[in-house]
Structure 1
Amino acid sequence: MQVTTTFRHMEVSAPIREYLEEKLARVKKYIDEPIDAQAVLSVEKKIRHCVEVTLVAKGIIIKGTETTNDMYAAIDSAVDKIERQLRRYKERIKRHKPLSGRERQVRKAIVQAESLEEVDAEPVIIRTETFFVKPMSVEEAVMQMDLLEKNFLVFTDADTEELNVVYRRSDGNYGLITSQQKD
């Protein structure tokens, strides 16, 4: 785990940095991938100790913040919050039983921007990517979209086996686009 620690409005403290790294080592049991941690430790008005920890791993970004009168207590509380979030997400993913063999293959193409500006020109595809879309419920699709911090997610509905898209609306809610076949 790579930990970057920033001290604001306080002197750099090796014992506090070591304590933070020791506490953050606990979250490695939830994520197997390499983890980057960024911590900002600050003191406001000489009595408020603020800790903001951001973890980035496997497309997941998790933040934990805490403000108390003691820096060590703030570190404990912020790391506990992150640990609870990771445990909750890991349990949700464990509960979901993927339906193997029912994935769909989807192809994504990226079009060159200059070809869109010209009126008579055909769009030029500069990269094509193929990936599998696994069956999942709408709730799991929203969770996966949040974990990956994406604005939309294409998935196969586990019940109907239709291709669907869930997206984040500008008002903060979620939208769902479903596909239906004509009769």
Structure 2
Amino acid sequence: MQIAVTFRHMDASDALRMYLEEKLVRVKKYIDEPIDAQAVLSVEKKIRHCAEVTLVAKGITIKGSDETNDMYAAIDGMVDKIERQLKRYKEKIKNHKPANERARQVEKTVFAAESIDTGAAEPIVIRSQSFSVKPLSVEEAVMQMDLLNKTFLVFSDASTEEISVVYRRKDGNYGLIVPRK
């Protein structure tokens, strides 16, 4: 497990770094693949201690954070949240048989709003990113969206092999957008 620790608005402490590494080793029992962890420990207004971590493993990204008035308690709370998420993820994929279909490649492009508003012949591209969309069931897509703390997720439906979108509605329920042929 590779752990990168960033300290914000506080002095770097080897004791905190060692404590965080000790606690994050507990999550290795849920994921077999190599894990990459980025942790941010910060102090806000000299009172609120925040611990945030992003774990990236093969096929999964999990984010967790906690805030208290003690940094060690914030680390403990954050690791507990990550463990609960990983347990839930592990239980859901236990009975899942992986699909043999290959992932689709999708490109995401961000355009400058000014170039579109002025009616330019070619809009100005700010950023372009290509990523693969793996085949998932709707339930897996909702679970992945929850684990990533996102409001929507674009995925390839494993049963229909079509690109679909699952999103979180304002009332707390989930919506599904399926293309019509």
The structure with the largest alpha-carbon Rg is 1
Q: 1:137 to 1:125 in 2, by over 3 A?
A: farther
- How much does 1:87 deviate? 2.9
Stretch deviating more after TM superposition (73-82 or 93-102): 73-82
Stretch deviating more after TM superposition (124-133 or 140-149): 124-133
User: Normalising by the residue count of structure 1, what TM-score does the alignment of the two structures yield?
Assistant: 0.65
State the aligned residue count.
170
User: Which amino acid letter does the alignment assign opposite residue 88 of structure 1?
Assistant: R
Stretch deviating more after TM superposition (52-61 or 14-23): 14-23
- In the alignment, the residues of structure 2 paired with residue 17 and residue 129 of structure 1 have an alpha-carbon distance, to the nearest angstrom, of 33
Q: 1:88 to 1:125 in 2, by over 3 A?
A: same
User: Which amino acid letter does the alignment assign opposite residue 113 of structure 1?
Assistant: A
Q: Does 1:174 align with 2:174?
A: yes
Query: Which of 65, 75, 78 is residue 63 of structure 1 equivalent to?
Result: 65
Q: Any conservation in 1 of the 2:104–2:134 contact (CA below 8 Å)?
A: yes
1:148 corresponds in structure 2 to 148
Q: Any conservation in 2 of the 1:112–1:124 contact (CA below 8 Å)?
A: yes
Q: Any conservation in 1 of the 2:52–2:78 contact (CA below 8 Å)?
A: no
Stretch deviating more after TM superposition (109-118 or 99-108): 99-108
- In the alignment, the residues of structure 2 paired with residue 26 and residue 138 of structure 1 have an alpha-carbon distance, to the nearest angstrom, of 30
Q: Any conservation in 2 of the 1:99–1:134 contact (CA below 8 Å)?
A: no
Structural mapping, 1:1-183, within 5 Å: 1-3=3-5, 18-29=18-29, 30=31, 32-38=34-40, 53-58=51-56, 59-63=61-65, 79-93=79-93, 95-119=95-119, 121-124=120-123, 126=125, 127-181=127-181
**RMSD over equivalenced CA pairs, Å:** 3.9
- How much does 1:112 deviate? 2.7
> SS of 1:171's equivalent?
coil
- Identical amino acids, percent of aligned pairs: 53
- In the alignment, the residues of structure 2 paired with residue 108 and residue 17 of structure 1 have an alpha-carbon distance, to the nearest angstrom, of 36
User: Which amino acid letter does the alignment assign opposite residue 180 of structure 1?
Assistant: R
For structure 1, the residue ranges without an aligned partner over 5 or more in a row are 45-49
Regions of 4+ moved over 6 Å: 13-17, 71-75
Q: 1:85 to 1:35 in 2, by over 3 A?
A: same
- In the alignment, the residues of structure 2 paired with residue 15 and residue 115 of structure 1 have an alpha-carbon distance, to the nearest angstrom, of 51
